[in-house]
Structure 1
Amino acid sequence: MQEFRKSPKNLILATFILCFLAISAFQLPDNGFIARIKTRLESYQDYARPDKVYLHTDRAAYTNGETLWLKAYQVHAADHRPHALSRVIYIELLNSRNQAVLKQKMRVENGYGYGQFTIPDNLPSGTYILRAFNNWMRNSSDDFFFTKTIRVFNLAQTEPTNTLPLATNSTFDLQFFPEGGNLIEGLKSSIAFKAVNTAGESIPVEGTIVTAKGDTITSFKSFHAGMGAFELQPVSGQKYLASVRLTDSTAATFALGQALSSGMVLHASNTTPGTIQVRIQSNARQKGILVAQSRGTLYFSEQIDLAAKQVYDIPTATIPDGILAITLFDELGNPQAERLSFVNKQQNLRIQVNPNKKIYEPREKITLDISVTDAQGNPVSANLSMAVTDAGLPQVHQPDILSYLLLSSDLKGNIEQPSYYFSEDPKAKQALDYLLMTQGWRRFTWQDILNNNIFPEQKFEMEGGISIGGRLKNANDAAVVPNQLVILSAPGAVPPFQQQYTDQSGNFYFSDLHFNDDKEVFLQVPSTINDVAVKAEVDTTMEVGFAGTYISAIDAAQAKEFTEKSKKRIQIETMYKQEDTDTIFVEAATPGKNKKNPYTLIDAAPDHNIELDNYNEFPDMIEVLREIVPGILLQSKKGVINGLRILDIKRKLYFKENPMYFIDGIPVYSAQDVFKLDPGMVETIEVYGRPEKLARFEQLGKNGVLAIHTRTQDYYPEDAKNLFQIPMRGYLAGREFYSPVYENTQTSRKPDFRPVAYWNSRVISDANGKASVSFYNPDNITTYQIQIEGISGEGLPGIARQSYQVKLPLQSGR
C-alpha cells in the first residue's frame, strides 16, 4: 500500500492557524478586524509592489544556431498596468538539471522589452525552461518568475535525445485536497484530487472510497488533466481509503487524511453569473468573518452568524477578472478555511486580425488588418507583438499573455495547457474550478499581512539599469577601505562614468548603467591614504536558485519529423550559398548615443569639439593642443610643457589646477598621458569649461574636463595603478526581424524556407484601435499560424489567433 502524501495546502493552513492563535490583536469580533484587514492589505501592496513579467516568443521549437525572438511585458501584479520602475529583466535558459546554459539581460522601456538571442550551437537536443524575472521579484518566491518550455533540436546528433527519463505510470502520485483546507467530522465536504506520473504529467484515474472495513462509500473519476472531485461526510473515528485504478490496469491504494473533530467547512460555487455563492458549515463556532480579495485588494467582507444564515453571495461586478481568494475567519480572527475561485467576466481585449485573403502563393505579399477594442466595443490603443509561424512546427502548450496574467502567474507549480481554461470547451469552467482546488496558492500569507511586526525585508532593489557592486580592500592586509572615492568608467555606456565613496565596510554599488552586448568597464581608485595599493572584489553575477518545474519529454516522432525537415532546409540553403547580406539585421538605436561620437561623456554638447580629420597631420599632441584646441592654456616649467589649464567660460578666467583628463572614457590624472598619445590615433577632442556642464562631472569636473577619443576606442593606461578592468554583460541588442521583399516572385532563385514568416514586437494600435502590417510569404507550402498578444495601458490583456494557407498557383485556384 502506498502512503497518502499530505497536500502542501493543508500544511500551510495549519501553519496559519498556529501563528494566529498567538496574535491577541486578532480577537476582534466587530468591524475593527475588517478595517484592519483592509488597511494592512493596502499597506502590504504599497510595500511589496509585486510585479509580473511575461515573455512572448516567436515559437516553441528551435534548432541550434537559430534565433529566438522575444518580447517582454512587465506589469504591476495589482492592476496589470505596464511599468518601467525596474528597467532590467533577466532571462535564463535552464536545462533539465535546472542549470542556466544561457543568461541575458533585457532593457525595459515603458514596461516593454525587445530582443533576441541565438540558440547555442553546443546545446544537446532536449527540453529547456525559458525563465524571466527582474531583481525586485527576487524578494518573493521564484515560483512567481515567468517560465515557459521550449524544445531544442541539435541536428548534429544522429538521433534526437531527451535530457529526461521516460515517464512511467507504474508509480504514480495521488493527492487529495478537501475544499477549504480540512475535513471536519460530521460535515459534508467536497474533496478534490490530482493524479500525476513520475514526470509530473497528469494521468486519468478512477476508483472508490472505502472504509477501513472495506465498505464502499462513493466512487470517483478524473474529469480533466487527472483532476476531479467527490463528496464525503466523515464519521468520527472512521478512516477512509481510496482504491485507485489507471487505464492500463495499474492499481494502488491511498489513505485520506484524518478528519478534524471540529472546525468550519467552506464551499464556493460560481455557476450563477455575477455572483459567487459561499456556503458555510460548522460543528463548533457559529460566528466569524468572511472576506474575499483579488490581487491584494479587499472586495468583500461580512460578519457571519451561522445560526441565522449559512449561504452568502459575493457580487463580482467590481472584481477584476482573475483569481479571487475567499477566506473564512472565526470570531477570534483565526483563519479556518480558504477557497480560490475565478472571476471571468471576459473583460479582456478583443483583438481581431484579418488577412486580406485566406489562400496565398509562395512569396506573395500578405496584409493583415488588426483591430483592438475593449469588451464594450470601444477602440483601444494597445501594445502588441505578433508571430506568424509554420503550423507544422512542434507545438508546446504554453500560457499566452491572457492565461498567464489572469491565472498561471498567481498559482504555484506547472499548469498543463493553461490556455485551455479560457477556451470555449463547455468542460473548461468546471476543470478550472478543480484546478483552483488542487493547485491553490497566494502571493502572500495572512501572517505576513496581519502580523503586528514589520513586513518581510525587501533585500533586492528595483534596478534603474545594469549594476555592479563590490568591496574595496587593502591589497596587503585585506583590510576594508572605507570613505574612498571609486570611479566607474564605461566607455560607450549611458552614462559613461560614475563616481562614489565606499561606505564604512568598503562597499560600493553603481547602478543605472545602459549598454548593449558585452563590454569591458573600468573601476579606478584615483588615490588612497598613504597611496597604498588596493584590490576590488567585484560581483557582477546573479545566481538565483530554481526549485524546478514540470518538463515534459520530447515526442520521438515529432522530433524526427522536425529534424528531417530542418536538415533539408539547411541543405538547400547551403547549396545555394545564401549570402550573409540576405540576413542583415538593423540594430535599434541606444538611448543617449551620439551618432557622430558615440562616446560623448555627458548628455550635453562639449563647449569645444575638435575633429582631427579636418586638419593636417601634427607631429605631437602638444602641437595639437597649442594650435587647434580653444579654451585651454598650456603650462610649462623651466621651458618644458607639463600641464594645461581650462578656461572657466562663465568667469572668463582659467582654472588654477590641471583639469580632469578622459581618454576613451577612462579618467587619467597626468597630462603626460595625453601628451604621449599619437595624434594620428586621435579622432576627437572635447573641452568642457561651463560650470553647469562641469557640475555633471561632480568632483572630477571642478577644474574643467578635457576628453580625448581615439580611433580604436581601446585605450588602456601604461603602468596603471588601482585600475581594474571588468567584463560585463549588457542588454540584448534590439534588432529588426529580417523580412525580405519580393516585389517580383522571380527576382531571386535563392530558397526561402524560414519557419517563421514574420515577427514584429512593436505593433501598436492607434487611438481608433487600428493597426496594419504587411510582409511576404516564404516558399513553404503550408498553413501559417498567426498569434497576436498584447496589453493596453489600462492593464487589459488580449490574444488573437488566425491562420491562412500558402499553396502553389494551381492549388490556389489561379
Structure 2
Amino acid sequence: MSRCVARVGAGLLTGGLLWSLSLGSAHAQSDSLRTLDRQLSRYSQQRLPEKLFLHVDRPLYVSGELMWFKVYAVDGVQHKPLSVSKVAYVELLDREHKPVLQGKIDLQQASGQGSFVLPKSLASGTYTLRAYTNWMKNFPPEYYFQSSVTVVNTFGSVTKAGPPAQSGFDTQFFPEGGHLVKGLTSTVAFKVTDQWDQGVAASGIIVDQRGQNVAQFNTLKFGLGSFTFTPTEAGATYSAIIQLPNNQTLTRKLPAVQEQGYVLHLAPTAADVLTVTVQTTATEAADVLLLGHARQQPFVATMGRFRDNKAVFTINKKDLPDGVAHFTVFNNARQPLCERLYFTPPTQQLSLSASTDKPEYQAREKVSLQLSAAGPGAQPLAANASVAVYRLDSLATAPGASINSYLWLSADLKGRIENPDYYFSPTSPEVAQAADNLMLTQGWSRFRWADVVGGPRPAPAFYPETSGHWIQGKLTHRATGQAAPGIPVYLASPSRQPRLYSAVSQPNGRVQFDLRDFYGPKEIVVQTNTQVDSTYRVEIDSPFSTAYAPSRVPTLQLSETLRPELAQRHLQAQVQTAYFKKFTNRYTLPQTDSLPFYGKPDERYMLDTYTRFKVMEEVMREYVPGVMVRIRKRQFHFQVINHLNDAPMTDDPLVLLDGVPIFNINKVIALDPLKIQRLDVITSKYFHGRQIHQGLVSYTTYKGDLGSYKLDAHALLQEYEGLQLQREFYAPRYDTPQAQQSRLPDFRNLLYWNPQVTTTAANPAATLSFYTADQPGSYVVVVQGLAANGLTGSRRILLQVKPAL
C-alpha cells in the first residue's frame, strides 16, 4: 500500500505541480497583458501629442483678399494650452497638395497669429489650409490641422464648369472590430459618398453568392449607416446592392469572410452601462485583455475569460473620458485582435457669451460687442479668444469646424468629417446612432501597437522648437558627397544688428542653428572656416513637411445664378485694394534685443569721430590699440590684447562684417574703411556655442549690407523667410462727422478681426468695438476660445446692417 500510496502521492504531487505551473503561467500571461497600460502611458509620455487649431476669419475669399488666422496650440491629451513649440508651420495647398502659400508663425504662450495675401493669380478652387509643428512631423500627416477654404478668382470666368470631377460614387464597408468571421454576428457600418466627398442618402440589401437576401440597410445621416449581418460561409462572396436617390443602382462586394477569428461588439445595455462582447470561433481561446484608452491615456484594463466562445466586459459610462475612446482587445501574446471606437461628447465646455448693444445698425455706425467666458456653474473664467465679423451672402460656404468639435472629435479621427458640430447637438437617439456610425467608419489610431510593446524605440526624427525657429541642413564633402562630421559651421544674416549662429556638424553631417528673433525675409550666409578647409558643401533644408494626408478635394463649381454676388465681391475687393491697400501693409514689429549678439563690447569706435583713413590697416594701427596687426608670410593676422592680463592672444579673433564671419584677415584689411561706421572689440576669450575664439572684432557698415565685400565663393548665400511679421488689421473709424461723411466707399466684407481677446476671472467681460461698412445685410460674429484648464467653446451671433435711406 505504501507503494500505492507513494504512487498516488507522487501522482498528486505531480498534478499539483502541473496545476501550480499552469496557474503561474496564467498569472505570468495576465501580468504580461496588464503591462500594456503602463507601456502605453510611457509611450504617451515620450511621444506627447500636440494639437493645433486655426480659427480662420472666413470660409470663402476672392483672389487678392487677405486671409487672417489665429493659431491655438494645446497638448493632445487634456487640451490645455501647451507652450512647448514656439513655431507653427501653416500652408495653403492646392488640389495636388502643392503649397501655394507658406508661413512660419511665432507662438507665444501657446498661441500665434498670421495672415496670407491671396495672389490675384490664384485660381478658383477649394484649397486645404494645414498647420503643424516640428514635433508633429514625427506623426502621420493626418495628425496635422486641416481645413478647407474656398477661393474665387473674379478676374476670369468663374461660373463655367471647372475640370471634370471624379465620376461615380464611393461606397465602403467596415465590419465592427475589423473582420467578418463565419458564424459570428457582426455589425457592419458603411459610408456612401459622391464625387464631392459628400454623404449620399442610400438604401439597399445584402445578398449571398446565390442571390438570396440576407440583410438590408439604410443610411442615417451624412451617407453613414450600419446593419447586423451573420455570414454563414467562409470565403463566400457577399455583395451589397445599393439604391441611390437618382434611381441608380450600385453593386459592391463586402470584405472577405474569415474561417477563424474574433468579432467585437459594443453596445449600451443600460442607461449608464456599456457592454463589450468578444466572440471567437477558437475552441480553446485563451484569456484576453480589454484595454480602453483615449488620446493615448489608458482608463480601463481588464482581463476576460471565454465561456462558450464569448467574453463579456461591462463598463460604467461614468468612467469613460470625454471625446473619442478606443477599446482594443489583446490576446496573451499581446497582439491586438480587434478594436472599436466610442464617442462621448464633452460634458463641460467653455461657455462664451456674445452680445451687441443693438440688433440693427446703420451704415458706418459703431458696434459695441461684449464678450464673456465662464466655466461650469457659470463661474467667470480666464480665456484666450479670437473674434471675426464678416458678411453672409449666397457665396458663403459651410462654416469651418469649431475649436470644440475639432479638438474633441475631428483631430482624433481619420479623414474628413461632414458637419462635425452635428455630433455635439443635444443628446438624442439619432445623434447617438450617427456618432456611433462615424466611429465605426472613421476609426483611427495615431500610433502602431508594435511601437508601444516593442523594444527600445528609436529617437524621434524631429524635436520641438522650444526656443525659436531652427534652420537645419547637412554638411558634406564636395568631392565625395559623404557626410562631414565634427566641422564648425556658421550662419549669419547681414544686418546692422549682428546675429551669428554656429553649430558643429553631427556624425551624419547634420547641422542645426537655433535662431531667435528671426523675422521676415532675409539673406542668410552659411559657411565653414575656409582658412582651415574649403572642401565642404552645406545645404539648407526646408522646414515644411513633405508628407500629405490623402484627401478628395472637390472641383469648385459655381452656378450662373451667383454671378451678381460674384460681381459684388469683385467690386468690394477692388475698392478695398484701390483705397485702403496702404493700410493693409502695416506690421507690428517684434520687440527684439537692440544689442548685437555679443552684447556690450569692451571697446567701441565710431569711425566718423576720428580722422578718416583710406586704408583699413591704418585705421587698425592708429585707432584700435587693443588689436595688434601682424604680418606673417604675406598674410595679415590680428592679435587682440587680453584685458585680463594685458597680453596679446595667440590666434586670430572672430572677425565679423555686419555679423558675417571673415576668416581671411587679408580680406578684412582690403575693406573700404569709408563704408564702415562702427567697430566693436571684445578683449577677452569669447565663447560662442561650442567654439572658443581669441577675442572678437566686429565691423558694421552704414547700411548693414556688407558694403562692397564679396563673399567667399564657397559660402552659401540664400534667401530665407523667417518668422512671419504680424500684419496689423485695419478698419476705418467713423467717430467724427467728417469721417462719416467721407466719400471714400467702404465695401468691406470683413468688418472686424481680433485674434487677441482675453478675459480674466476678475474681469470676465471684454468690450470690443468696430464700425459697420456701407454694405447692408446680415453679418455673423464668430468667437472661438480656449481656457487655461483646457475647456473650449465657440459662439456665433448675427447682426443686421440696414440699407441707407
TM-score (norm 1): 0.86
Number of the residue aligned with 2:488: 485
Shift of 1:627: 11
Alignment partner of 1:564: what SS? helix
Tell me how large the CA RMSD over aligned residues is.
3.5
CA distance in 2, matches of 1:624, 1:226: 83
CA distance in 1, matches of 2:706, 2:312: 75
1:345-494 pair list within 5 angstroms: 345-392=346-393, 393-424=395-426, 426=428, 427-451=430-454, 453-455=455-457, 458-464=460-466, 465-475=468-478, 481-491=484-494
The 8 Å contact of residues 412 and 440 in structure 1, kept in 2 or not, is answered as yes
The 8 Å contact of residues 657 and 703 in structure 1, kept in 2 or not, is answered as no
Distance 1:723 1:162, change over 3 A: farther
The percent identity for this pair of structures is: 28
Unaligned runs of 5+ in 2: 1-23
Shift of 1:520: 1.0
The 8 Å contact of residues 73 and 112 in structure 1, kept in 2 or not, is answered as yes
Distance 1:494 1:328, change over 3 A: farther
Number of the residue aligned with 2:752: 758
Number of the residue aligned with 1:497: 500
1:46-96 CA deviation, whole Å, 9 max, x = no partner? 222222222211112112221111122222222222323333322222211
Number of the residue aligned with 1:229: 226
CA distance in 1, matches of 2:336, 2:534: 61
Shift of 1:717: 2.7
The 8 Å contact of residues 26 and 333 in structure 1, kept in 2 or not, is answered as no
CA distance in 1, matches of 2:441, 2:631: 84
CA distance in 2, matches of 1:233, 1:474: 65
Select which of 233, 250, 253 maps to 1:252: 250
Distance 1:710 1:744, change over 3 A: same
Number of the residue aligned with 1:796: 791
Shift of 1:202: 1.7
The 8 Å contact of residues 87 and 107 in structure 1, kept in 2 or not, is answered as yes
Shift of 1:337: 2.8
Shift of 1:250: 0.2
1:646-700 CA deviation, whole Å, 9 max, x = no partner? 5544445564555332111111245665555555544433333366xx3347646
Number of the residue aligned with 1:107: 106
Number of the residue aligned with 2:14: none
CA distance in 1, matches of 2:677, 2:55: 43
Aligned AA for 2:755? S
CA distance in 1, matches of 2:637, 2:581: 50
The 8 Å contact of residues 682 and 695 in structure 2, kept in 1 or not, is answered as no
Number of the residue aligned with 1:601: 597
The 8 Å contact of residues 412 and 439 in structure 1, kept in 2 or not, is answered as yes
Aligned AA for 2:444? W
Shift of 1:146: 1.6
CA distance in 1, matches of 2:269, 2:548: 38
Number of the residue aligned with 1:663: 657
Shift of 1:442: 1.0
CA distance in 2, matches of 1:526, 1:286: 66
Number of the residue aligned with 2:514: 511
CA distance in 1, matches of 2:627, 2:457: 60
Number of the residue aligned with 2:772: 777
1:580-628 CA deviation, whole Å, 9 max, x = no partner? 44445232315x332xx6xx234x3334455567x48735476995799
CA distance in 2, matches of 1:746, 1:232: 74
Distance 1:340 1:527, change over 3 A: same
How many residues matched? Answer: 770
Shift of 1:328: 2.6
Shift of 1:148: 1.0
The 8 Å contact of residues 780 and 799 in structure 2, kept in 1 or not, is answered as yes
CA distance in 2, matches of 1:456, 1:562: 55
Number of the residue aligned with 1:18: none
Number of the residue aligned with 2:568: 565
Aligned AA for 1:767? A
CA distance in 2, matches of 1:580, 1:624: 51
CA distance in 1, matches of 2:214, 2:534: 82
The 8 Å contact of residues 29 and 333 in structure 1, kept in 2 or not, is answered as no
CA distance in 2, matches of 1:447, 1:384: 40
Number of the residue aligned with 1:17: none
Distance 1:714 1:561, change over 3 A: farther
Select which of 204, 207, 210 maps to 1:210: 207
Number of the residue aligned with 1:520: 523
The 8 Å contact of residues 405 and 420 in structure 2, kept in 1 or not, is answered as yes
Matched, 1:42 2:27: no
CA distance in 2, matches of 1:809, 1:226: 45
1:249-288 pair list within 5 angstroms: 249-270=247-268, 275-284=273-282, 285=285, 287-288=287-288
Shift of 1:526: 2.0
Unaligned runs of 5+ in 1: 1-24
CA distance in 2, matches of 1:36, 1:548: 35
Shift of 1:213: 3.8
CA distance in 2, matches of 1:287, 1:486: 58
| Higher mean C-alpha displacement, 432-441 vs 80-89 | 80-89
CA distance in 2, matches of 1:637, 1:726: 34
Shift of 1:128: 1.1
Number of the residue aligned with 2:96: 97
Matched, 1:117 2:116: yes
CA distance in 2, matches of 1:540, 1:210: 53
1:29-59 CA deviation, whole Å, 9 max, x = no partner? 7641343111110121122222222221111
Shift of 1:253: 2.4
Number of the residue aligned with 2:716: 724
Aligned AA for 1:43? R
CA distance in 1, matches of 2:134, 2:85: 8
TM-score (norm 2): 0.86
Matched, 1:145 2:169: no
CA distance in 2, matches of 1:299, 1:804: 45
CA distance in 2, matches of 1:494, 1:50: 37
Aligned AA for 1:66? E
1:548-559 pair list within 5 angstroms: 548-557=550-559
Number of the residue aligned with 1:5: none
CA distance in 2, matches of 1:79, 1:373: 18
1:280-332 CA deviation, whole Å, 9 max, x = no partner? 44554485322211111110122224549965432344543210011233455
Alignment partner of 2:378: what SS? coil
Shift of 1:498: 1.9
Shift of 1:402: 1.3
CA distance in 2, matches of 1:389, 1:164: 30
CA distance in 1, matches of 2:530, 2:39: 50
Aligned AA for 2:185? K
CA distance in 2, matches of 1:608, 1:375: 61
CA distance in 2, matches of 1:444, 1:637: 63
Aligned AA for 1:343? T
Aligned AA for 2:412? D
Distance 1:232 1:485, change over 3 A: closer
Aligned AA for 1:33? S
Shift of 1:418: 1.6
CA distance in 2, matches of 1:303, 1:478: 56
1:540-573 CA deviation, whole Å, 9 max, x = no partner? 4645132431323324137635421122224545
The 8 Å contact of residues 652 and 694 in structure 2, kept in 1 or not, is answered as no
CA distance in 2, matches of 1:275, 1:771: 43
Alignment partner of 1:449: what SS? helix
Alignment partner of 2:180: what SS? coil
Aligned AA for 1:399? A
Alignment partner of 1:37: what SS? helix
Distance 1:263 1:703, change over 3 A: closer
Number of the residue aligned with 1:632: 626
